[in-house]
Amino acid sequence: MSSGDLSKAWNRHAETYARLGAPFTGYMAQSLFAAVAGRLPKGARILEVACGNGELSRAAVLHCLEEGRSEGVRGSVVATDFSSEMVELARRNLSVLGAGDVVRCEVQDGQALGFEAASFDAVFSAFGIFLFPDRQAGWGEAARVLRSGGLLATAVWRGPEDNALLRLQMEPVMASLPDRVRASIPRPSWLDITTAEGLVKEVSAAGFVEPEVSVFDAVLTAPTPRAMWSMMRESPLSGPLFATCSREEIAAVESTVLSTFEALSGGADRPVRFNASCHFLVARS
Ligand SMILES: C[S@@+](CC[C@H](N)C(=O)[O-])C[C@H]1O[C@@H](n2cnc3c(N)ncnc32)[C@H](O)[C@@H]1O
């Protein structure tokens, strides 16, 4: 899929993601910011790549505002995403902070950023660069726009063996997809960086040094089994799995997924909880 088609797919998913996904990934993204905030220089110029509806940037803006009050020096935040709908949601989300010129939101492809070299002290990307078709370009652009010694912080899902969220979502899907479809699914390349070793190897190859990886666990709560299925069905990540399925084939997957989730939740109208696990990586340019 071209970058343009992918950004359109995220545009279509933006509202659902903001409602169901971002309250959870947003908590993890804000925790990623908190894990690094103490190391930021005063008045840091902060970039968020693939910001979604701006949850990490929200934490960054609050940090800058507090810094302005307590230190008299205020940093700045640029929240970017290649989906114009996501950027609009981020703009709305951040506008309530009354942060004025501390923050701006821009449509930017993280694989080809329109910023000068060395324009930022820190680049953050929570569940963003890891899914780019050209991750090397994503890490490379983060390195280019960081000043020497600047900080990269990123969150990347751990693989299904360590991450019940992925396992519980994908097992019923894979078990019920027709053989023809299952056989045609390519191995997602981001599985290469679901381990700490794989992630460190990749960002080191992009020129980052002093990598530190930690595990971060959280519990995702979906309001109902069907709400989680709807998100999976629509998401640009899992939705394409069903592109060549007939209506009957999708109904069969839906039935398997819903009964798996209902067994976890205890009923169709009950919340379903998934233990999720990711890596936080922090490194220097
Ligand atoms: C899983 S969401 C994560 C959003 C947010 N960081 C969070 O933690 O909630 C992935 C985001 O990456 C964005 N994205 C995907 N490819 C991108 C690219 N090449 N450049 C910029 N953003 C991209 C999508 O539009 C989407 O907002």
Best residue for ligand 1 mutational test, from 3, 6, 10 (most atoms within 8 Å of Cβ):
10
Q: Is residue 269 part of a domain?
A: no
Q: How many domains does the chain have?
A: 1
Ligand 1 atom with least separation from CA of 133: 19
Torsion sign across C-alpha atoms 151, 156, 161, 162: positive
Could you read off the pLDDT of 253-277 as tens digits, one per residue? Answer: 999 999 999 999 999 999 999 999 9
Q: What CATH number did the domain enclosing 153 receive?
A: 3.40.50.150
Closest to 139 measured CA to CA, from 84, 200, 196 = 200
Q: Is residue 171 part of a domain?
A: no
Q: What values do phi and psi take at 203, rounded to 5? A: -75, -30
Q: Is residue 13 part of a domain?
A: yes
Ligand 1 atom with least separation from CA of 7: 25
Could you read off the pLDDT of 173-189 as tens digits, one per residue? Answer: 999 999 999 999 989 99
Expressed in angstroms and rounded, the spacing between residue 28 Cα and the centre of ligand 1 is: 14
pLDDT for 4: 85
Q: Is residue 94 part of a domain?
A: yes
Please list the alpha-helical segments (H only) found in the chain: 3-16, 22-37, 55-71, 84-95, 135-145, 164-176, 179-184, 196-205, 225-234, 247-265
Q: What is the model's pTM? A: 0.96
pLDDT for 206: 98
Residue of the nearest CA to atom 16 in ligand 1?
A: 132
pLDDT for 3: 85
State which residues form the domain around 208: 3-159+187-218+276-284
Residue whose token pair is 């990540």:
237
Ligand 1 atom with least separation from CA of 29: 8
Q: Is residue 234 part of a domain?
A: no
pLDDT tens track of the chain, all 285 residues?
788 899 999 999 999 999 999 989 999 999 999 999 999 999 999 999 999 999 999 999 999 999 999 999 999 999 999 999 999 999 999 999 999 899 999 999 999 999 999 999 999 999 999 999 999 999 999 999 999 999 999 999 999 999 999 999 999 999 999 999 999 998 999 999 999 999 999 999 999 999 999 999 999 999 999 999 999 999 999 999 998 999 999 999 999 999 999 999 999 999 999 999 999 999 999
Please tell me the distance from the alpha carbon of residue 217 to that of residue 207, in angstroms, as a whole number: 28
Q: Is residue 43 part of a domain?
A: yes
pLDDT for 1: 77
Residue 150 contacts residue 70 (beta carbons within 8 Å)? no
Residue of the nearest CA to atom 13 in ligand 1?
A: 50
Q: Is residue 254 part of a domain?
A: no
Q: Is residue 69 part of a domain?
A: yes
